[in-house]
Amino acid sequence: MLDLLKSEFTRRTILHKAGFGLIALSTFGVAGTIFKPNRTLAQAGPAPAKEPSMPPEKKLGWAVVGLGKFATEQIIPSFGECKRSKLVALVSGDRAKAEGIAQQYGVNSKNIYNYQNYDTIRNNPEVDVIYIILPNGLHAEYSVRGAQAGKHIMCEKPMAITVEECQAMIDAAKKGDRKLMIAYRAQYEPYNLAAIKLAQSGKLGKLKAITSDHGRNLDPKDPADRWRAQKKLAGGGSLYDIGIYSLQAARYITGEEPQEISAMMYSTPGDPRFREVEENVNFVLRFPSGVLANCTSSYGYADTKRIQVFGSDAALELDPATDYYQHRLIIKRKNSNEEQNIQEKNQFALEMDHLSESIMANKQPKTPGEEGLQDVRLMQLIYQAARTGKTIKV
């Protein structure tokens, strides 16, 4: 999990103790470019040209399936920062939109597909990898069809709606000898990798507890939030969409799997957004080491993406923890707060290149289908614990 964070931390301690309230800054010596956020498609502009001094490197060809908000605002612009991955094809139900994006990013219009002729992508040797960025309820179908077309698959989180769908995706990839990776970007993002390293190296002492809070206020006016309120397309409510980051954090910070789960769920009565999916889920996980993780997930509270880790000697706070950029990591001791200043990188480019490199080296990616299946299995158990009011043994 930590092999991306190769260099040791080199520290540049700047300030310390201001009447017990000073903040210290230190730098993790991680080589790489500073990540410039991609906010909107219009602002993002065309992918930056390759630097002339860069040695020619092999890049795999990627097709993006579903040209929605996340694909157009974050993923497609990030190909410009990839070393091993290039955008070569688009799959969309909206031909005009796809034509515009193809023109902007230099994709040949002969490589634009729709959902009906998608399977003919098998005949396109330019496409090595298919990236599924569709509503959750469509992940399984398009991943399986993609693997059957002989392509490697990157699939957005949550992997699918049911455990059975996840297993079908894994089976299809195995049958075709294709790689399947779930796009858990936080596991490639430098601040999260640093937090994992701090927590697992004993620098905080013995780990005792984790809290992780992920929520936002679902906006029915936003087209990207409309399908999120429909159970068939979303699979679940806040837990499937954003609470999954709290679950992931507890698992990757400890490096363990939970043994017990308890949970409580609540949706505001009469709120039309929550007719089919839940608003809030709070859940507690107990890990074999004794760490208790207290997690919240909400479609009702304002944007929050926070992870806190409490050890016997120190605590760390990552806030925002799982945003697209501008993360913040602070180590808290009795009389001091030490801010870690880590070089930001484009986490989307890192995760896409990770899959391309895994394919080239014929290695299992760090977040394979099995990782996505485990989260879906655990989320189902969280719902079960909330529904029954009983603590579930995993």
| CB closer to ligand NDP out of 45 and 93 | 93
| CB closer to ligand NDP out of 93 and 288 | 93
Main-chain phi, psi angles of 235, to 5 degrees: 90, -40
Footprint on this chain of ligand NDP (rule: CB under 6 A): 66-71, 92-94, 97, 133-136, 138, 156-157, 183, 185, 223-224, 227, 233, 241
| CB closer to ligand NDP out of 230 and 262 | 230
Closest residue to ligand NDP using C-beta atoms: 68
Radius of gyration of the chain from its Cα atoms, rounded to whole angstroms? 21
| CB closer to ligand NDP out of 80 and 236 | 236
- Rounded CA-CA distance 214/203 in Å is 25
Question: Which of 383, 367, 388, 75 shows the shortest CA–CA distance to 235?
Answer: 383
Q: How far is the CB of 223 from ligand NDP (least distance, A)?
A: 6
Residues 6 or more apart in contact with residue 51 via CB below 8 angstroms: none
- Rounded CA-CA distance 323/344 in Å is 12
Is residue 245 annotated as part of the catalytic site, yes or no? yes
- Which uninterrupted H or E stretch holds 359? helix 347-360
| CB closer to ligand NDP out of 322 and 337 | 322
Task: Count Cβ atoms within 10 A of the Cβ of residue 250 and give its class: 0-12 exposed, 13-18 middle, 19 or more buried.
Answer: buried
Q: How far is the CB of 311 from ligand NDP (least distance, A)?
A: 28
- Please tell me which residue in 59, 86, 151, 157 is annotated as part of the active site: 157
Which pairs from 186-189 meet CB under 8 Å and 24+ separation? Answer: 186/245, 186/248, 186/249, 186/252, 186/321, 186/322, 186/347, 187/1, 187/248, 187/252, 187/351, 187/366, 187/367, 188/4, 188/347, 188/350, 188/351, 188/354, 188/366, 189/322, 189/327, 189/345, 189/347, 189/350
Question: Does the bond joining 46 to the residue before it have cis omega, within 30 degrees of 0?
Answer: no
- Please tell me which residue in 113, 245, 252, 324 is annotated as part of the active site: 245
- Rounded CA-CA distance 87/126 in Å is 10
| CB closer to ligand NDP out of 254 and 322 | 322
Q: How far is the CB of 144 from ligand NDP (least distance, A)?
A: 16
| CB closer to ligand NDP out of 130 and 315 | 130
Main-chain phi, psi angles of 88, to 5 degrees: -125, -15
- Rounded CA-CA distance 172/142 in Å is 11
357-376 CB burial, b ≥16 within 10 A, e <16: ebbeeeeebbbbbebbbbbb
Q: How far is the CB of 158 from ligand NDP (least distance, A)?
A: 7
- Rounded CA-CA distance 139/133 in Å is 8
Question: Which of 38, 324, 11 shows the shortest CA–CA distance to 186?
Answer: 324
Is residue 157 annotated as part of the catalytic site, yes or no? yes
- Rounded CA-CA distance 155/373 in Å is 12
| CB closer to ligand NDP out of 112 and 168 | 112
Q: Which residue has the tokens 């069809």?
A: 145
Residues designated catalytic: 157, 245
